[in-house]
Amino acid sequence: MSATTVSRRRSFGLHRYAPVLHAPHALPLAAGSYVSRAGQAGGSLAVLLAVRHATGSFGAAGTAAGLTAASAAGARVLQGRLMDRVGHARVLLPLALVQLLVSAALAVAVAERATALVLIVCSALLGATLPAVSAVMRTLWTLLLPDEELRTVASTLESLVTELSFMTGPALAGVIATALSPTAALIAMGVLTATGTAVVTATRPSRAWRPHPREHADGGALARPLLAPVTIALAIGLAAGAVDVSAPAFATLHHDPGATGALLAIWAAGSLVGGIWYGARHWRPASRELRLVVCVAVFTLALALLPLASSPLALGGLLVLTGLPIAPALTTVYLLVDERVPRERVTEAFAWVSSALPAGASLGTVLAGWIVAGASPRAGFLAGAGLSLLAVLAALAALCSARALRARV
């Protein structure tokens, strides 16, 4: 076997992550980002459990958790816009402290059995103060890694960190809530969020990052390049929300509600595996839009197969297939944003995309809840497939636009 062949095979391996992780300050950044996002992911479950504990109402608990997610999505964009003007630490550090204080206030309100309205308002305020660490990380990887191939790997790594945080954060919150109390889980998640955020902002790249001069004041400078990425992220979120409701309903229908956690974990694991594979391969930049079309098309087709499952075991196998293209699709979406958005508004742009995903998931959960209640879990899965078609259309539009642009050049 020639040295060239060996080198080519190695270029497709997991060692491609090594240059990213060995970059100066990369490990503290990645670790801090993971801790902060795990705290935020676990915080949503902690809010749900705490408000349920205080009020005895799943309706109030669901409303509180939903408003936490919705206010976080809206505030993330405002944070990104502000950070593009004044820098990271001036925005994130005060917010990290405020969210910790709000977490403590919510815990006290739960312990004192405050009214549902007070708890819901506190939950919404907590969501609004969660630091937009994910948007900051995207900008910092671009600063740390000038090589485009390494930025692709770093973008994949970001997707993997997100998946890990959503797999481990809620699990940790659940353990703490069971072993100690829901209020202890609230405090613990607040501490994790603040600690991780402080680590990220304390690194040299974050402290050295400076806003770019603002050359594009009009909204179109951001709206045009963000239309397709935000639409795709929103559509993936809509479909994911439908699965989050339909999978537990399917398990309950088949008299195995205990399988719910395993089903959702398997789905997340599929995305994790897909992301690892995607980041370990070499991709041509010119094929980016085409890869995005393939990823969202596979995602949609896999969703359409979910109603064929006859048991929770079969559904688990199909959910693995459905999860595989998620991280690659989102990685490519963020790469498009990095390529097309003006530098002086890049943090805001990343915040728009990272907000569109949970916003879509929240809306998809509501829509699928009504569909499942009125029809069946299979109808919920089909609704998810139908909603994800929006991502396919947006990806096709991005592909046609890119090809037209290259033809003119």
Q: Distance between CA 273 and CA 156 in Å, rounded?
A: 11
Q: Distance between CA 236 and CA 250 in Å, rounded?
A: 20
Q: Distance between CA 367 and CA 241 in Å, rounded?
A: 9
Average pLDDT over residues 1-26: 61
Query: For domain 216-409, which architecture applies?
Result: Up-down Bundle (1.20)
- State pLDDT tens for residues 244-292: 888 888 988 888 877 877 887 888 889 989 988 888 787 777 788 899 9
Closest to 106 (Cα-Cα) out of 79, 73, 129, 133: 129
Closest to 358 (Cα-Cα) out of 47, 75, 138: 75
The Cβ of residue 125 has, within 10 Å, a number of other Cβ atoms equal to 18
Whether the per-residue pLDDT at 197 is higher than 60: the answer is yes
* Residue 195, H or E segment: helix 182-202
Phi, psi values for residue 22, rounded to 5°? -90, -5
Q: Distance between CA 105 and CA 314 in Å, rounded?
A: 44
Closest to 46 (Cα-Cα) out of 107, 116, 105, 102: 107
Q: Distance between CA 373 and CA 269 in Å, rounded?
A: 28
Closest to 10 (Cα-Cα) out of 288, 284, 282, 287: 282
Query: For domain 20-211, which architecture applies?
Result: Up-down Bundle (1.20)
Domain regions of the chain by residue span: 20-211, 216-409
Please tell me the pTM assigned to this model. Answer: 0.79
E strand segments, 140-297: none
pLDDT confidence bin for 221, thresholds 50/70/90: low
Asked whether this chain's domains 20-211 and 216-409 adopt the same fold, the reply is yes
Crossing angle of the two packed helices 377-408 and 288-305, in degrees rounded to 10: 170
Q: Distance between CA 170 and CA 40 in Å, rounded?
A: 9
- State pLDDT tens for residues 351-375: 888 888 888 887 887 788 888 888 8
- State pLDDT tens for residues 136-179: 887 888 778 777 777 778 888 888 888 788 778 888 888 888 88
How distant is the alpha carbon of residue 98 from its chain centre? 22
User: DSSP letter string over 42-86?
Assistant: HHHHHHHHHHHHHH--HHHHHHHHHHHHHHHHHHHHHHHHHHHHH
